A and B are shown apart, each in its own frame.
Chain A
Amino acid sequence: MSVTFLAILLTQLDKVLLSRLLSLESFGYYTLAATVAGVLYMVIGPITSAFYPRLVELSTQENRVQSPPYITKVHSW
């Protein structure tokens, strides 16, 4: 909950402040660039969501020192 709140604050606060500090034209470019860069979230979001249950499962089983549940272990496709 607080994690989500902070993440939203962190990603949106800049736009709130910059909308006052920059000209409308500059702010437009900034927002466009932010949106384009944000497209990558659409790629990574589903992947991490899909992995999360497996990460939780592994976290109950293994110790925290050996190799982590990276892709090779997480996947069984």
Chain B
Amino acid sequence: MVGRYPAFGKYRTHPFDLRDWSVSELSDAYAAQLQLAYGWVGLGIKTNIVAVVVLVPAIFWFVPRYGVIGAAWIWVILNAGYVLIAIQLMHRRLYPNEKWRWYFADVMLPLIGAAGIMLLAKQFQPVSYQDRWSDFFFLSITAVLALMASAILADRVRPKLMSFLRQDSHIREGRT
């Protein structure tokens, strides 16, 4: 379904992931729940019907030409469609005033943070894939850093994060 959970910093994207569709597919959950909370089922169904109708021929066209990477790109395109089109349709009825704030503060800024970390990581990418474990740790650390970057840039998560850290340091220093 459509949309993103507004500010939990999971806009992390990953140039190494074969299918980084999860970036928006996951986050669809929140806007989907929002629509259902208002008893609005139709948009989600229509969006998914369109997605299925696009998906099947796209697989048959892209995959023989570009292989598995083509399949991954289909998901990127489909999810871009969710975020750029379906969300617009949702905001025609629900919270039109929030749309651009959401696109900017909840999507773009965290996305820039995560994308920045990923591009940086790409510079330090191991040249050859000799050791699976070092690749695994490299990717894991990159993912965590990207998640942190988007959490820090998400203005609804940052205050909670900061207050949490402050509380924690008080406890460590023996204060209450």
Contact = CB atoms under 8 A, between A and B. Distances in A.
Instruction: State which size class the interface on A falls in.
Output: 35 or more
Contacts of B94: 64, 68
A33 B33 CA distance: 26
A66 interface: yes
B110 to A, nearest CB: 13
B38 A59 contact: yes
Interface residues of A, dominant DSSP = helix
Nearest to B156: A71
Interface of B: 1, 5-8, 10, 17-22, 25-27, 29-30, 32-34, 36-39, 41, 44-45, 48-49, 51-52, 55-56, 59-60, 63-64, 67-68, 71-72, 74-75, 93-98, 156-157
Interface in A4-35: 6-7, 9-11, 13-14, 17-18, 21-22, 26-27, 29-30, 32-34
A30 B95 contact: no
A7 B157 CA distance: 28
Contacts of A30: 18-19, 68, 71-72
A10 B20 contact: no
B8 A44 contact: yes
Nearest to A27: B68
Nearest to B7: A71
B98 A68 contact: yes
Contacts of A69: 34
Given A33-B72, A37-B22, 16 more contacts: A6-B45, A10-B51, A10-B55, A14-B59, A17-B63, A22-B63, A30-B68, A41-B26, A43-B10, A44-B26, A44-B29, A45-B29, A48-B29, A52-B33, A68-B34, A70-B6
